[in-house]
């Protein structure tokens, strides 16, 4: 089976060995392990660093059966702005032009967002009878209107109306929809204006994770030792993820200032310097910045609990961030203020604790509770690992996706043969 994957905005381990495998890389790996031929259409522009890889269209074949097609586009310096709109539009036009020169696949897995590339892909493949599974990971374009003050909301809604129509058409024309959570699937179906069919599915953002070799593990261990995070079995709190404006950095810091155990806060983003300034006097807080896969794996192994603190507790009302699956994979309880899907997951399965937003004293109290009651901590750790094994392993999620795509491809071939009779 020949499969096209269309997805931008992800660091690919083939090009960035230190990067954590994200959606496209995981789908490529699962399909290739099953013996299928894969072409990944993506961008030459790196969203995370705002840099180009090669500065031109490039084809790479990192291993037999896998082809990476990197399309050059303008790039952008700001994540929200007209530059990004232009880049996505240009990428979609060039993608369509190149697609027309290539043999068609048997099935396609199309990432959403970006909207423009998804639209041209679904439309092109639908016209030629190729089944498409549209994978929904965010609520574009509505997500851009939510932060706008009420006084300007109507203008914002008017600006995104053409994109709303484009998204509606794309979701209606795709053969099936996948989404990162039940809430996202419900949203996508409502946009498409239809009920769920037998080919729509929930596809969590889980990952196989990294299995560092001996040299990588030793190097990561020594690095953490040098950062003052030894493998000493002490109660330790970890946060691994973006230090973005949506993360409640101040609640973490305020809680850390009232307890004795160690906080290790990893990641990069616009609040990193603020985080470091506020914690420079706290001996129990370590802020190393961004960490690679091997360093992340070692840190999880040296930690007791992970944090998921958000400014807006409803930020993940219908979704669950990928860092949560990493925590569950390592059998680590999650302490979060998030409501919705994430809050429900944590409380319903007893894999962590929910605390109230802007209540750093409450957060500290919950962490002290876990530190002082090892049996409770052990029970939550056991539950976290069991939930991961039951619901979120790479083999369960992505193995199921491969079988799903095989079924869609078979149906596409049957329909194509029927049209030719």
- Residue pair 384/324 in contact (Cβ under 8 Å)? The answer is no
Q: Of 234, 242, 243, 255, nearest to 355 (Cα)?
A: 255
Q: Quote the pLDDT of residue 18.
A: 77
Q: Answer yes or no: do 242 and 160 share one domain.
A: no
Q: What is the mean pLDDT of residues 393-409?
A: 95
- Residue pair 230/286 in contact (Cβ under 8 Å)? The answer is no
Q: Answer yes or no: do 8 and 152 share one domain.
A: yes
- Domain enclosing residue 43, as ranges: 2-206+393-420
- Residue pair 117/5 in contact (Cβ under 8 Å)? The answer is no
pLDDT in tens, 17-48: 878 888 999 999 999 999 999 999 999 999 98
Domains contained in the chain, number: 2
Q: Quote the pLDDT of residue 19.
A: 80
Q: Answer yes or no: do 244 and 379 share one domain.
A: yes
- Residue pair 122/96 in contact (Cβ under 8 Å)? The answer is no
Q: Answer yes or no: do 180 and 297 share one domain.
A: no
Q: Answer yes or no: do 32 and 109 share one domain.
A: yes
Q: Answer yes or no: do 362 and 232 share one domain.
A: yes
Q: Quote the pLDDT of residue 207.
A: 82
- Checking if the pLDDT of 314 tops 60, the result is no
Q: What is the mean pLDDT of residues 4-25?
A: 90
Q: Quote the pLDDT of residue 180.
A: 93
Q: Answer yes or no: do 179 and 324 share one domain.
A: no
- Checking if the pLDDT of 313 tops 70, the result is no
- Residue pair 346/353 in contact (Cβ under 8 Å)? The answer is yes
pLDDT in tens, 50-86: 899 999 999 999 999 999 999 999 999 888 788 898 9
Q: Quote the pLDDT of residue 315.
A: 55
pLDDT in tens, 230-257: 999 999 999 999 898 888 999 999 999 9
Question: What CA–CA distance (Å, rounded) separates 177 from 109?
Answer: 10
Question: What CA–CA distance (Å, rounded) separates 41 from 22?
Answer: 15
Q: Answer yes or no: do 304 and 349 share one domain.
A: yes
pLDDT in tens, 340-350: 889 999 999 99
- Checking if the pLDDT of 210 tops 80, the result is no
The CATH number given to whatever domain includes residue 164 is 3.40.50.2000
Question: What CA–CA distance (Å, rounded) separates 333 from 350?
Answer: 9
Q: Of 417, 324, 412, nearest to 132 (Cα)?
A: 412
Q: Quote the pLDDT of residue 95.
A: 97
Encoding tokens for residue 414? 């049957």
Q: Answer yes or no: do 80 and 130 share one domain.
A: yes
Question: What CA–CA distance (Å, rounded) separates 226 from 237?
Answer: 18
Q: Answer yes or no: do 87 and 234 share one domain.
A: no
pLDDT in tens, 110-144: 999 999 999 999 999 999 999 999 999 988 888 77
Q: Answer yes or no: do 16 and 109 share one domain.
A: yes
- Residue pair 307/237 in contact (Cβ under 8 Å)? The answer is yes
Angle value at C-alpha 63, between 204 and 131, nearest 5 degrees: 50
pLDDT tier at 418, thresholds 50, 70, 90 = confident
Q: Answer yes or no: do 152 and 222 share one domain.
A: no
């Amino acid at each position: 089976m020949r499969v096209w994957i269309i997805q931008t905005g992800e660091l690919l381990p083939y090009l960035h060995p230190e990067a954590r495998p994200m959606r496209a890389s995981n789908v490529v790996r699962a399909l290739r392990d099953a013996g299928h031929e894969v072409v990944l259409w993506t961008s030459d522009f790196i969203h995370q660093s705002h840099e180009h890889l090669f500065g031109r269209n490039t084809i790479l074949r990192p291993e037999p059966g896998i082809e990476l097609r990197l399309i050059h586009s303008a790039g952008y310096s700001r994540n929200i702005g007209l530059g990004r709109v232009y880049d996505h539009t240009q990428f979609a036009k060039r993608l369509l032009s190149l697609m027309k020169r290539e043999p068609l696949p048997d099935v396609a897995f199309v990432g959403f967002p970006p909207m423009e590339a998804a639209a041209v892909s679904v439309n092109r493949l639908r016209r030629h009878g190729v089944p498409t599974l549209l994978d929904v990971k965010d609520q574009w374009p509505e997500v851009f209107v939510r932060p706008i003050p009420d006084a300007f909301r109507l203008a914002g809604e008017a600006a995104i109306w053409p994109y709303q129509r484009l998204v509606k058409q794309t979701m209606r024309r795709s053969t099936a929809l996948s989404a990162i959570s039940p809430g996202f699937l419900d949203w996508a179906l409502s946009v498409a204006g239809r009920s769920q069919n037998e080919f729509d599915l929930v596809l969590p953002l889980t990952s196989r994770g990294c299995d560092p070799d001996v040299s990588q593990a030793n190097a990561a261990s020594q690095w953490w030792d040098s950062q003052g995070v030894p493998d000493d079995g002490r109660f330790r709190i970890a946060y691994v993820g973006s230090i973005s404006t949506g993360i409640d950095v101040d609640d973490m810091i305020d809680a850390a200032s009232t307890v004795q155990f160690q906080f290790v806060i990893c990641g990069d983003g616009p609040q990193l310097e603020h985080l470091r300034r506020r914690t420079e006097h706290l001996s129990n807080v370590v802020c190393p910045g961004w960490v690679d896969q091997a360093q992340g794996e070692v840190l999880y192994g040296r930690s007791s609990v992970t944090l998921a603190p958000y400014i807006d507790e409803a930020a993940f009302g219908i979704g669950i961030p990928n860092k949560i699956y990493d925590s569950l994979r390592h059998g680590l309880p999650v302490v979060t203020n998030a409501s919705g899907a994430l809050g429900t997951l944590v409380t319903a399965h007893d894999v962590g604790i929910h605390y109230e937003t802007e209540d750093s004293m409450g957060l500290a109290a919950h962490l002290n509770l876990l530190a002082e009651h090892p049996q409770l901590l052990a029970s939550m750790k056991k539950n976290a690992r069991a939930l991961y094994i039951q619901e979120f392993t790479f083999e369960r999620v992505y193995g199921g996706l491969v079988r799903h795509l095989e079924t869609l491809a078979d149906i596409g071939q049957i329909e194509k043969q029927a049209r030719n009779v």
